[in-house]
Amino acid sequence: MAAPSHVLPFLSPAGGCAASSARARSHSHSGRRAGILRCSAAAGQAGFFTRLGRLIKEKAKSDVEKLFSGFSKTRENLSVVDELLTYWNLADTDRVLDDLEEALLVSDFGPKISFRIVDTLREEIRDGKLKSGAEIKAALKRCILELLTSKGGNSELNLGFRKPAVIMIVGVNGGGKTTSLGKLAYRFKNEGVKVLMAAGDTFRAAARDQLEVWAERTGSEIVIDNDKKAQPPAVLSQAVKRGKREGFDVVLCDTSGRLHTNYGLMEELVSCKKVLVKALPGAPNEILLVLDGTTGLNMLQQAREFNDVVGVTGFILTKLDGTARGGCVVSVVDELGIPVKFIGVGEGMEDLQPFDAEAFVEAIFP
């Protein structure tokens, strides 16, 4: 059990030598014991959050069928890869690689990445390292996986070492921000986590109602703006304080959607982040930016702006449910070096999937 927050090192007043010495020894022992209790509690909480982050990440492997159904459009675009490589021969290398590059571009891998991958394949073919169509396809998948793992870093949730862990969700209007928060709460609740939601989107009238529905569906608690006049930072501060007071494991903070070009609203995010730090040192543990996968490579500028303002720690890519082209995942990671933490591959509560690079690469190729 965690030591009470009011336990502090005790400073004894001046007194008799023997009594002072005895009290000093007693207080020293008590201080050491309290310190040990606090360290043990912190270690226990760190272990809890480490296991939680790892467990949620591992769910991606068991849910790989969701990924396959979600990336049907991308697989369709990349089905040409098998057609190109089945009868590949050395004399056709330039033509085949040009067609392969076009397939990557159509799937939103972006020019820079597409050129880099194809140049790598061309060099390995020239050096005699790739001698069949099957080897070229395997090398193509390896290149994409290396891009995701070398640039993306750790895609597990980093939840710190004290309760509550605080996750701040940001993004533009219409990207699926509030829905993603609700689905994330569902993930946590399935692991037995005590979740508190903060309805920090005070500008959109329907946002609070939408989040209240998600709280009911997931069995989570929620902090809302009762007088409908409070500013978002005040709502988030109140939620974190309640999370500390009532022993919640995770506080999920919704924020108002905003265009990345609106300087005033972007600055409000800075205020939201500051009040979280003030309410709980070290918070927020994660700042997750929700990006709409149907916008393709246009999401990159949004990601740059939000990252510059608040320091994004991870991405949630939504609406990758058959209409989007999955190569944008690779483009975002390569461009910004920030990991994708979750991807949305459908409308159901369970369709916010932890991102796993290896499972993703297997899912986008037929």
Q: What is the pLDDT of residue 208?
A: 84
Give me the mean pLDDT over the 350-358 stretch: 86
Q: What is the pLDDT of residue 65?
A: 63
**Residues 120, 139: Cα–Cα separation, whole Å:** 9
Considering only residues 344 and 20, tell me which one the structure prediction assigns the higher pLDDT: 344
pLDDT at 143 > cutoff 70: yes
pLDDT at 250 > cutoff 90: yes
Query: Which long-range contacts does 31-39 make (Cβ < 8 Å, 24+ apart)?
Result: 34/3, 34/7, 34/9, 37/2, 37/3, 37/7, 38/2, 38/3, 38/7
At residue 110, φ and ψ (nearest 5 deg) are 90, 150
Give me the mean pLDDT over the 10-16 stretch: 32
**One-character DSSP codes across 247-293:** T-SEEEE------TT-HHHHHHHHHHHHHHHHHSTT--SEEEEEEEG
pLDDT at 84 > cutoff 90: no
Lowest mean pLDDT among 149-153, 283-287, 303-307: 149-153
Instruction: Please identify which residue in the block is written with the tokens 């597990």.
Output: 156
**One-character DSSP codes across 78-110:** HTHHHHHHHT--GGGHHHHHHHHHHHHHHTT--
At residue 113, φ and ψ (nearest 5 deg) are -70, -40
Domains and CATH numbers, the chain: 50-69+153-364 (3.40.50.300)
Considering only residues 165 and 298, tell me which one the structure prediction assigns the higher pLDDT: 165
| Strands, E assignment, the chain | 165-171, 195-198, 221-223, 250-253, 286-292, 314-318, 340-344, 352-354
Query: Collapsing DSSP states into helix, strand and coil, what is residue 221?
Result: strand
Residues of the chain above pLDDT 70, percent: 80
Lowest mean pLDDT among 35-39, 69-73, 346-350: 35-39
Sign of CA dihedral 233, 234, 240, 244: positive
If one counts every other C-beta atom within 10 angstroms of the C-beta of residue 351, the result is 19
pTM, two decimal places = 0.81
Q: What is the pLDDT of residue 19?
A: 42
Q: Are strands 250-253 and 165-171 parallel, antiparallel or unpaired?
A: parallel
pLDDT range class, residue 116, cuts 50, 70, 90 = very high
Q: What is the pLDDT of residue 272?
A: 93
Q: What is the pLDDT of residue 17?
A: 43
* CA 68-73-75 angle, 5° bins: 60
pLDDT at 136 > cutoff 60: yes
Cα-to-chain-centroid distance, residue 264: 25
Q: What is the pLDDT of residue 68?
A: 62
Question: Residue 196: beta bridge partners?
Answer: 221, 251
pLDDT digits (tens, 9 = 90+) for 176-216: 899 999 999 999 999 899 999 999 887 776 778 899 999 99
pLDDT range class, residue 262, cuts 50, 70, 90 = low
Give me the mean pLDDT over the 137-142 stretch: 94
**Residues 169, 273: Cα–Cα separation, whole Å:** 11
Q: What is the pLDDT of residue 59?
A: 64
Considering only residues 133 and 28, tell me which one the structure prediction assigns the higher pLDDT: 133
